[in-house]
Amino acid sequence: MSTIRLHRTTSLTPEQYVAGLTDFGPGRSKLFGNSADAYLKVHDRGPADADVTEGSGGIWERLYYDWSDPDHVVLTTIDSNVWGGASGHTYNFTRRPDGTTDIDVIVVRDGKNLRGWILGLVLRTVGRGVLVKAFENSVTAIEARNAAANDGDRFAA
């Protein structure tokens, strides 16, 4: 089992990042590169939870999203072609006095077959950078989307 911890300070509020994280519409891959539109299927969605299959590159995962606590979002792996056991993602948000937000992510990868075990080993060693880059890209993309929305609001006034 691999546990990877990620951290980033952002100008986003927790609500803004969670809005991006829980946007399951077309173009999701622009925010989350490992979530190709061809794999995306929303099985069920409530006001603070969702059951979603997503993936890319031959790896898919069905996740239960729970964002009922705006400062602690949990994605639990329900099914996957490579991940099982305790796999999932946990996002913790800490609001800072200067208006920024610390995002701390814990990614757990528990391989359920040979392919999953090998991928888990790779992620724990040389592949960690792939997850770091994907997380950094998601924060940057959501920041850009919010900046564009704020510019649109300013011009509409």
Quick: pLDDT tens for 59-95. Answer: 999 999 999 998 999 999 999 999 999 999 999 999 9
2-156 CATH fold: Alpha-D-Glucose-1,6-Bisphosphate; Chain A, domain 4 (3.30.530)
Q: What is the pTM of this model?
A: 0.91
- Tell me the C-alpha distance between 110 and 54, whole Å: 17
User: 155 pLDDT band (50/70/90 cuts)?
Assistant: very low
Domain chopping of the chain, boundaries: 2-156
**Element spanning 91, H or E:** strand 88-95
String of DSSP letters for 28-87? GGGT-TT--TTT-EEEEE-SSEEEEEEEETTEEEEEEEEEEETTEEEEEEEEESSB-TT-
Q: How many CB atoms lie within 10 A of CB 15?
A: 12
